[in-house]
Amino acid sequence: MRTYWWASPGWVSLLLMVPICVIVAAMPRSTYLEFEQARQFFTGDQLLLALAGLLAFSAGCGVVGYVSRSAQRQRIRSSPPSRILHSHYRRAMLVIGLIAFSGNFALVLPVLADPGLVFAFLSGKASVFALLKERTLQVPGITSVSNLAALFAALYALKSKIADRPLDWFDHTFAAMVFLAVLMRAVINSERLAIIEVVLPIGIVWFGTVGLRWRAWLSLAPILGIVGIIALFAATEYVRSWTYYRYYYDSYTDFVLSRIWGYYLTALNNGAGLTALYPPTFDGTYTMHWFYRFPLFPWVEVEEATFWEYAFRYATEEFNNTSGVFAPMQDFGSVFGILMWFFLGVLSGRIYDGYTQGKFQYMLLHPTWMIGVYEILRLFYWGSSKYFPTLIFTVALIVFMVRHRAVATAPITARSAHPLAPVAVRGGRTRT
């Protein structure tokens, strides 16, 4: 199975993330001051460090790809892709979908239960925006399972490939119900990443695979994705914050483009500043953030004083992302951080290679794993509490589906022996 470049983690890092880093570093100082960045850290050595991490990640993916291609040349016949029994696959979809729907709907239920608050939000009153987040149900367990919508989106998109059955009206109706709950959470709680988490896996599965012929417009899908993100931001922010920010920008277009660009510029500059000013933590604060947020570990507390001290001196609390590129360096130093990026590249390349070979374990994992690649400049998604529940449930699903695989058989072609037939040897005997 061939894919377009934007479905490959190595190519995304090399062809998309590296140029964005160079462009951000080349921005004038006035752009940084616009977002209350007192000092431009993302330049010089810190830029080279970020590029080294991204290139190491791409190199790790490339090593796996080279080894895999060499092994495929020596392999005479590849095994047929495994399939999951439809009844068990649908059961898994229902369980994950219901959990995701319950988590997202419960989060916004206190807001929906107040018609006056909903009307004030739709009318664009600036005073209601801060109240929205306060009214949402911010319970650690519920906010964690709400992120399972990404896994449900992957299951929804992969059904015809893994269960060998087309999507029916029930699948579409159930998915629409889950995605509507996600949309309400994204708008009310200002979590645009929630929409990306369901759109990206579906896009990777449905449009990322090269069909009978290569289509030029699909190779430019990231550009269409950027346009979609801008449109999404424009639609949600108009009723949410334009009433407040309209006095600070000349037009709504300037506001939208500036804010979107600001998220990535400030994240990279924050990450570069923390790496330049503070020693490595060596405790996984940035790469294993899920551990410090896990509800079962109440005695473990994350030490965030460093960032707030940095934000007080050089940045602002509003733009508080610290960039995923610098996360390994902030935890383990420059050398070990770059090595970690290489091993993450090897892992990502192995997942992608298994996905292209049609192995259902990797097909379940790859679409959601790619979210971390696309968010690499803004946050370390793989180590966040957003992705940890998805990863745990994905592993549980793999274990469940291994026990309920359909029997895979090798195809029998005309005028050829059956794969299990005895092979003749010298002396007239047969070898079984």
The confidence score (pLDDT) of residue 180 equals 95
Q: Are residues 359 and 16 in contact, defined by beta-carbon separation less than 8 angstroms?
A: no
Amino acid letter at 152? F
- 423 occurs within a structural domain: no
- Distance, CA of 387 to CA of 25 (rounded, Å): 29
Instruction: State yes or no: pLDDT of 196 exceeds 70.
Output: yes
Q: Where are the alpha helices (DSSP H) in 42-191?
A: 45-74, 86-112, 115-122, 129-135, 140-145, 149-162, 169-188
- Distance, CA of 303 to CA of 374 (rounded, Å): 27
Map residue 429 onto helix, strand or coil: coil
**Cα–Cα separations (whole angstroms), residue 303 to 266, 285, 314, 322:** 21, 7, 19, 14
The confidence score (pLDDT) of residue 258 equals 86
The confidence score (pLDDT) of residue 409 equals 40
- 22 occurs within a structural domain: yes
What's CA 383's distance to the chain center, in Å?
11
- Lowest pLDDT segment from 79-83, 330-334, 350-354, 397-401: 79-83
Instruction: State yes or no: pLDDT of 136 exceeds 90.
Output: no
- 139 occurs within a structural domain: yes
Query: What average pLDDT score do residues 245-260 get?
Result: 83
pLDDT, one tens digit per residue, over 360-404 is: 899 999 999 999 999 999 999 999 988 999 999 999 999 988 876
Residue 62, classified by CB atoms within 10 Å of its CB into exposed (0-12), middle (13-18) or buried (19+), is middle
Instruction: State yes or no: pLDDT of 353 exceeds 90.
Output: yes
Contacts of 249 (CB under 8 A, 6+ apart): 255, 258
Query: What average pLDDT score do residues 336-360 get?
Result: 95
Q: Which domain holds residue 134?
A: 5-407
Query: What average pLDDT score do residues 21-31 get?
Result: 92
Per-range mean pLDDT, top range of 6-15, 73-82, 204-213, 298-307: 6-15
- Lowest pLDDT segment from 95-104, 190-199, 208-217: 208-217
The confidence score (pLDDT) of residue 114 equals 83
pLDDT, one tens digit per residue, over 50-64 is: 999 999 999 999 999
Block residue for tokens 């009153």: 125
The confidence score (pLDDT) of residue 233 equals 81
302 band by pLDDT with thresholds 50, 70 and 90: low
Query: What average pLDDT score do residues 349-365 get?
Result: 93
Q: Are residues 386 and 148 in contact, defined by beta-carbon separation less than 8 angstroms?
A: no
- 432 occurs within a structural domain: no
332 band by pLDDT with thresholds 50, 70 and 90: very high
pLDDT, one tens digit per residue, over 150-194 is: 999 999 999 999 988 899 999 999 999 999 999 988 888 878 889
Instruction: State yes or no: pLDDT of 221 exceeds 60.
Output: yes
135 band by pLDDT with thresholds 50, 70 and 90: confident
Contacts of 339 (CB under 8 A, 6+ apart): 56
Quote the percentage of the chain above a pLDDT of 90. Answer: 45
- 422 occurs within a structural domain: no
- Lowest pLDDT segment from 26-30, 153-157, 202-206, 346-350: 26-30
Tell which residue, 120, 251, 271, has the closest CA to residue 188: 120
Maximum CA extent, the chain? 93
The confidence score (pLDDT) of residue 224 equals 84
Q: Structural domain tally of the chain?
A: 1
Contacts of 268 (CB under 8 A, 6+ apart): 21, 24, 42, 50, 323, 325, 326, 377
- Distance, CA of 349 to CA of 134 (rounded, Å): 41
- 429 occurs within a structural domain: no
Block residue for tokens 């374990």: 361
- 258 occurs within a structural domain: yes
Query: What average pLDDT score do residues 30-49 get?
Result: 91
pLDDT, one tens digit per residue, over 265-288 is: 999 999 999 999 999 988 888 998
Planar angle of CA 274, 269, 140, nearest 5 degrees: 70
- Distance, CA of 332 to CA of 328 (rounded, Å): 6
Q: Are residues 173 and 180 in contact, defined by beta-carbon separation less than 8 angstroms?
A: no
> What are the residues facing 55 on neighbouring strands?
none
Give me the chain's average pLDDT, please: 84
What does pTM read for this prediction? 0.88
Q: Which helix (H) or strand (E) holds 307?
A: helix 305-314
Q: Are residues 387 and 90 in contact, defined by beta-carbon separation less than 8 angstroms?
A: no
Per-range mean pLDDT, top range of 34-38, 177-181, 244-248: 177-181
The confidence score (pLDDT) of residue 425 equals 47
Of 134 and 48, more confident: 48
pLDDT, one tens digit per residue, over 105-117 is: 988 888 888 888 7
Block residue for tokens 């090798």: 410
Instruction: State yes or no: pLDDT of 124 exceeds 90.
Output: no
